[in-house]
Amino acid sequence: MEQFAKTPKTTLKRLPQRGEFDREAVYKILDEALVCHVGFVVDGQPFVIPTSYGRVGDTLYIHGSAASRMMRSLSGKIPVCITVTLLDGLVLARSAFHHSVNYRSVVVFGQAELVEDELEKMSALAALTEHIVPGRWAEVRSPNAQELKATTVLAVPLEEVSAKVRTGDPKDDDEDMAIPVWAGQLPLTLTPGSPINDSLLAPGIELPDYVRNYQRS
Amino acid sequence: MEQFAKTPKTTLKRLPQRGEFDREAVYKILDEALVCHVGFVVDGQPFVIPTSYGRVGDTLYIHGSAASRMMRSLSGKIPVCITVTLLDGLVLARSAFHHSVNYRSVVVFGQAELVEDELEKMSALAALTEHIVPGRWAEVRSPNAQELKATTVLAVPLEEVSAKVRTGDPKDDDEDMAIPVWAGQLPLTLTPGSPINDSLLAPGIELPDYVRNYQRS
């Protein structure tokens, strides 16, 4: 299925032209972003917690300490909403009203499943690590039995999903076009700085290319 | 009050040393980030929606179309959770388990209040615009009566608030220190690119300094 089905929760009521349901387009956003915001409800109170994630095919994985509120709550098969946002730029219009930002966001609705199968758990953790730094998993020590036990991994199927995208120029009203103020876009990108060696790094260990050439988009 | 009071919802059960309750430290994070993620519940289903915001003193403002689901739901005085996350870098450890990210995040719990007073509404919209681009509000056309009517502004008091901060090196286990793999941090920053003139920009309008020298942190 190349498109996600629109549902009442994922249909945009306003500006429907910003909606994006193409599976590949959605996955591209999920694969570029680093952090998601996980929403869940405990006793009627919403919680929104930032965390990292990984994707394997049509499944999103998150992980955390088995002791955390988020992991314990979500293991109880409650509804979850996971949102990923890439901020691409500021949009400066001639009127305050039409100021905006360019962005790409994905919203996933579903229910988390506890990953109990050890092989799936290990693949999910590999996906989480590779999502942050591609090439890293093969070089580092894999999780041991104790670490696996201390880590809860949850799988959220990518079924009820939509993206929302804004690009391009500000959209000013015709009667504002003569206002003599600069209008346009200021692009923003998440840019790597200079890598910082661990203060305990042994001498002679070189910076890997996947860190030196790190790029997100 | 210089510190936010810890509550059951804002007390960190794990890694309490990452908790930050100092009001100024929290406000610094809120003022640097551009986007928040707003969590609310409709019929038991959590929604997490990215949006811009502004801060005036101890109040956070968000805005949106009066027709949007988020604005309509939140106007009903339901519990809200607003989370702001700054991603500062990747933390590469010698074991997969200790990989992490450096970040600063703020979580606000509360209830939104519809802003009906016209003066407060206008100041809130000024704060929202100035939050994105300081210096902009005075140069652009202010919202007119029709735009004000179409815009819902909500105020969330900054009362039940906490921040969480991770900085610095990876924390590997002693027995992993001899693994001959690079470890350290890769800083990440949201960086402005070259401004893009609106395709309809009139000739002779110069780029303002607040765009040319735009910086977030």
| pLDDT per residue of chain B (217 residues) written in tens, 0 to 9 | 699 999 999 988 778 888 888 999 999 999 999 999 999 999 999 999 999 999 999 999 999 999 898 999 999 999 999 999 999 999 999 999 999 999 999 999 999 999 999 999 999 999 999 999 999 999 999 999 999 999 999 999 999 999 999 999 999 999 999 999 999 999 999 999 999 999 999 999 999 999 999 999 7
Residues 170-209 of B with CB under 8 A from A: 170, 172, 176-202, 205-208
> Which residues pair with residue A46 across a beta bridge?
A41
Is-contact B153 B116, C-beta < 8 A? Answer: no
Question: What's the pLDDT at A94?
Answer: 98
Q: How far apart are CA B217 and CA B213, in angstroms?
A: 12
Q: Is B107 touching A (CB cutoff 8 A)?
A: yes
In 3D space, the residue among B156, B127, B126 whose CA is nearest the CA of residue B58 turns out to be: B156
Q: Is A57 touching B (CB cutoff 8 A)?
A: no
Question: What's the pLDDT at A1?
Answer: 67
DSSP state of B172: -
3-state class (DSSP) for residue B44 = coil
Exposed / middle / buried, residue B128 (Cβ in 10 Å: 0-12, 13-18, 19+) = buried
Q: How far apart are CA A160 and CA B45, in angstroms?
A: 13
Q: Is B106 touching A (CB cutoff 8 A)?
A: no
Phi-psi region of A88 (alpha: psi -120 to 50; beta: other; left: phi over 0): alpha
Q: Is B83 touching A (CB cutoff 8 A)?
A: yes
Q: How far apart are CA A171 and CA A93, in angstroms?
A: 7
Enumerate residues 6+ apart whose C-beta is below 8 A from A168: A102, A185
Enumerate residues 6+ apart whose C-beta is below 8 A from A184: A92, A169, A170, B195, B196, B197, B198, B201
- Give how far A187 is from chain B: nearest CA, Å: 5
Under an 8 A CB cutoff, do A192 and B198 touch? no
Under an 8 A CB cutoff, do A39 and B47 touch? yes
Question: What's the pLDDT at A26?
Answer: 96
Under an 8 A CB cutoff, do A193 and B186 touch? yes
In chain A, count of helices (H) and strands (E)? 5, 12
Which of the four CATH numbers 2.40.50.100, 2.30.110.10, 2.40.128.50, 3.40.50.11540 does domain A16-212 have? 2.30.110.10
* Chain B residue nearest residue A10, CA to CA: B47
Mutation target vs B (from A14, A97, A148, A213; most B CBs, 10 A cutoff)? A97
A155-181 pLDDT, tens digit each: 999 999 999 999 999 999 999 999 999
Those residues of chain A that have pLDDT short of 50 are none
Q: Which two tokens stand for residue B94?
A: 């010698």
Q: Is A129 touching B (CB cutoff 8 A)?
A: yes
Question: What's the pLDDT at B185?
Answer: 98
Secondary structure E strands in chain B: 19-20, 35-42, 45-52, 54-56, 59-65, 79-92, 100-111, 113-114, 151-157, 160-166, 184-192, 196-197
* Chain A residue nearest residue B147, CA to CA: A97
Q: In chain B, which residues have their Cβ closer than 8 Å to the Cβ of A162? A: none
Is-contact A69 A101, C-beta < 8 A? Answer: no
* Chain A residue nearest residue B199, CA to CA: A169
C-alpha A123 chain-centroid distance? 19
Enumerate residues 6+ apart whose C-beta is below 8 A from B66: B72, B149, B150, B151, B152
**Is CATH 3.40.50.10490 what the domain over B16-170+203-212 is classified as, yes or no?**
no
Under an 8 A CB cutoff, do B187 and A193 touch? yes
Is-contact A159 A82, C-beta < 8 A? Answer: no
Q: How far apart are CA A106 and CA B70, in angstroms?
A: 16
Q: Which two tokens stand for residue B112?
A: 């939104």
Is-contact B50 A85, C-beta < 8 A? Answer: yes
* Domain layout of chain B by residue ranges: 16-170+203-212
Contacts 24+ apart (CB under 8 A), B23-32: B25/B163, B26/B106, B26/B158, B26/B161, B26/B162, B26/B163, B27/B55, B29/B84, B29/B86, B29/B104, B29/B105, B29/B106, B29/B163, B30/B55, B30/B60, B30/B84, B30/B106, B31/B55, B31/B131, B32/B86, B32/B216, B32/B217
Q: Which two tokens stand for residue B99?
A: 């990989």
Under an 8 A CB cutoff, do B188 and A192 touch? yes
Q: Residue A65 to residues A91, A143, A154, B104, B163: CA-CA distances in angstroms?
A: 39, 13, 11, 19, 19
Residue A69 host element (H or E): helix A69-75
Residues 3-22 of B with CB under 8 A from A: 9, 13-14
Question: What's the pLDDT at A207?
Answer: 98
- Give how far B148 is from chain A: nearest CA, Å: 9
Q: In chain B, which residues have their Cβ closer than 8 Å to the Cβ of A85? A: 35, 37, 50
Q: How far apart are CA B210 and CA B217, in angstroms?
A: 14
Under an 8 A CB cutoff, do A184 and B198 touch? yes
Q: What share of chain B is helix, strand, coil (3-state, %, to 5)?
A: 25, 40, 35
Enumerate residues 6+ apart whose C-beta is below 8 A from A183: A92, A93, A94, A169, A170, A172, B197, B198, B200, B201
Q: Is A145 touching B (CB cutoff 8 A)?
A: no
Secondary structure E strands in A58-142: 59-65, 79-92, 100-111, 113-114
